[in-house]
Amino acid sequence: MRNLDEETITQAVLARHADMPNGRMKEIMTSLVQHLHAFAREVHLTEAEWAEGIKFLTEVGHTCTSSRQEFILLSDTLGLSTLVTAQNHKKPRGCTEATVFGPFYVDDAPEYELGADVANGMTGEPCYVSGKVKSVTGEAVPNARLEVWQADSEGFYDVQQAGLDGHQGRGTLTADERGGFHFKSIVAECYPIPHDGPVGRMLDAMGRHPWRPAHLHFMISAPGFETLITHVFREGGEYLDSDAVFGVRSSLIGDWVRHEAGTAPDGTSSATPFYTLDFDFILNPAPAAPAPSRR
């Protein structure tokens, strides 16, 4: 194949895909090439602009470390994460909606008893969180595993703080037989996504802010149910309508109630004001396993 030009290059690339052994990869790469070429044609991409694009993607890669995932930030801020989440988690009416995962989950958070303080020394106003895990028909889902994680009052997750000894603001709990759970933490505040790297500069150049509304992350799993990755947002907070990563869903906004100093839900006496959040989660049944194929 020679003498390819603006008109013939796309088909020439696609012709090379003819014998791709993996059918799904062929589908994805064919579509990717078609859309990339269409994009370059539509905006009439110049060489200088594409060089700038390659420089940007290189910087995104160089910014990634074991505790900083700049490609997730790029996917999130371009709305791609929300699109992929939405099209993969269509649920029956009434189920708790999923939202973006974000880059700050860790899979070895400490296990806590119900009622424990998962803040574990993280700074912020105390918040007592409770709720139930239920099925879409209203029955309790017993013993669901809840993983929770959140930023501190300054907007930083523990993994963003160098030299922190141990996990703060995250934990794993097991709901009781009736699906109930409760734990203590700190009240969530709005915070900017990490914006001191190429994605932050991109947002700035586009006239966009990096802020997320206050939220608490949950990942909830139980046998027979689809794992739920979601947040609970704070009613009345800032940025609910301009989340930098497009993650807000009305059904996920909870009422975080402020209380004056006094007796807290765990029976202790709180010398400072505190918050409570009561929020139930409705899990979607796991998709049925495909029937064994007949011969």
Residues that bind Fe ion (CB under 5 A): 102
Find all residues with CB under 8 Å of 137, minimum gap 6, and list them.
Answer: none
- Considering beta carbons, is residue 103 or 169 the nearer one to ligand BEZ? 103
* Separation between Cα atoms, residue 114 and residue 119, nearest integer Å: 13
**141: partner contacted, choices ligand BEZ, Fe ion, none (Cβ within 5-8 A by kind):** none
* DSSP structure class, residue 140: B
| Cβ proximity to ligand BEZ, 134 vs 243, nearer residue | 243
Report CA-CA distances (Å) from 274 to 167, 183, 259, 263. Answer: 22, 13, 5, 10
Task: Work out the number of other CB atoms within 10 angstroms of the CB of residue 267.
Answer: 6
* β strands within the chain, DSSP E: 126-135, 145-149, 170-174, 180-186, 191-192, 211-212, 215-221, 228-234, 253-254, 256-259, 262-263, 269-270, 274-278, 281-283
CB of 12 to ligand BEZ, least distance (A): 38
Do 252 and 233 touch, CB atoms closer than 8 A? yes
Nearer to ligand BEZ, 104 or 281 (CB): 104
Nearer to Fe ion, 96 or 135 (CB): 96
Instruction: Please tell me the distance from the alpha carbon of residue 121 to that of residue 169, in angstroms, as a whole number.
Output: 8
Residue closest to Fe ion, measured at CB = 102
212 binds ligand BEZ (CB under 6 A): yes
Under rule CB under 6 A, residue 102 binds ligand BEZ: yes
Residue 219 binds ligand BEZ (CB under 6 A): no
Establish if 234 lies at the interface with ligand BEZ (CB under 6 A): no
Site for ligand BEZ in 65-84 (CB under 6 A): 73, 76
Rounded distance between C-alpha atoms, residue 1 and residue 221, angstroms: 52
Q: Pick from 186, 245, 277, 283: which binds ligand BEZ (CB under 6 A)?
A: 245
Q: Which of 60, 98, 100, 129 binds ligand BEZ (CB under 6 A)?
A: 100
Shorter beta-carbon distance to ligand BEZ: residue 102 or 179:
102
Which residues on adjacent β-strands are paired with residue 211? 192
DSSP 225: B
Nearer to ligand BEZ, 18 or 206 (CB): 206
C-beta of 100: minimal distance to ligand BEZ in Å? 5
CB of 85 to ligand BEZ, least distance (A): 11
Q: How far is the CB of 89 from ligand BEZ (least distance, A)?
A: 16
**Token match 């470390």: residue?**
65
Residue 167 DSSP one-character state: -
By CB under 6 A, name the one of 96, 104, 124, 274 that touches ligand BEZ: 104
Neighbours of 60 (CB within 10 A): 18
Counting residues that bind ligand BEZ (by CB under 6 A) gives: 9
- For 120, the token pair is 């574990």
Question: Using CB under 6 A as the criterion, which residues of the chain lie in contact with ligand BEZ when the complex forms?
Answer: 73, 76, 100, 102-104, 193, 212, 245
